[in-house]
Amino acid sequence: MRSARNLELHELIGLECEVVDSTNPLQIGIWGVVIDETKNTLVFETPRGRKMLQKKGAKFKFNVNGDTRIIIGDRIAYRPHERTKKLIWRRRKW
């Protein structure tokens, strides 16, 4: 089950998200619903249209079931179907 605690291991599409920090200061504050995800980007549907943002160098705040979680984009910079395998493998090594 997807929760704020294990969000990095799950699909991000459909979640409400906001950019809280970025190497590009113009991207800070962009919020919307994630409608697509690639290895390096998240695509948001915002009130001003679709925005494609780089994962690397950004921090995202996700709302899941009333809880919020900030995720560093560098940690999720994998293809969605590969991210689960890689992060589980990393947790086993810790």
1 is a domain residue: no
Averaged pLDDT for residues 9-13:
85
Averaged pLDDT for residues 54-59:
96
Asked whether the predicted pLDDT for residue 53 surpasses 50, the reply is yes
Summarize pLDDT for 19-43 with one digit per residue, the tens: 999 999 999 999 999 999 999 999 9
Cα 17 to Cα 91: distance, rounded to the nearest angstrom: 25
Provide the pLDDT for residue 92. 58
Mean pLDDT of the chain: 88
According to DSSP, the residues that pair with 63 across neighbouring strands are 16, 68
Tokens standing for residue 6: 């294990």
Report how many domains make up the chain. 1
2 is a domain residue: no
84 is a domain residue: yes
pTM equals 0.84
Look at the block and give the residue holding tokens 């991207």: 27
- Name the H helices within 9-75: none
Say if CB 76 and CB 40 are below 8 A apart: no
Domain that holds residue 15: 7-93
- Name the H helices within the chain: 80-93
**The CATH number of the domain where 73 resides is what?**
2.30.30.210
Averaged pLDDT for residues 72-76:
91
Tokens standing for residue 21: 């920090």
> b/e string for 54-90 if b means 16 or more Cβ within 10 A?
ebeebbbebebeeeebebebeebbbeeeebeeebeee
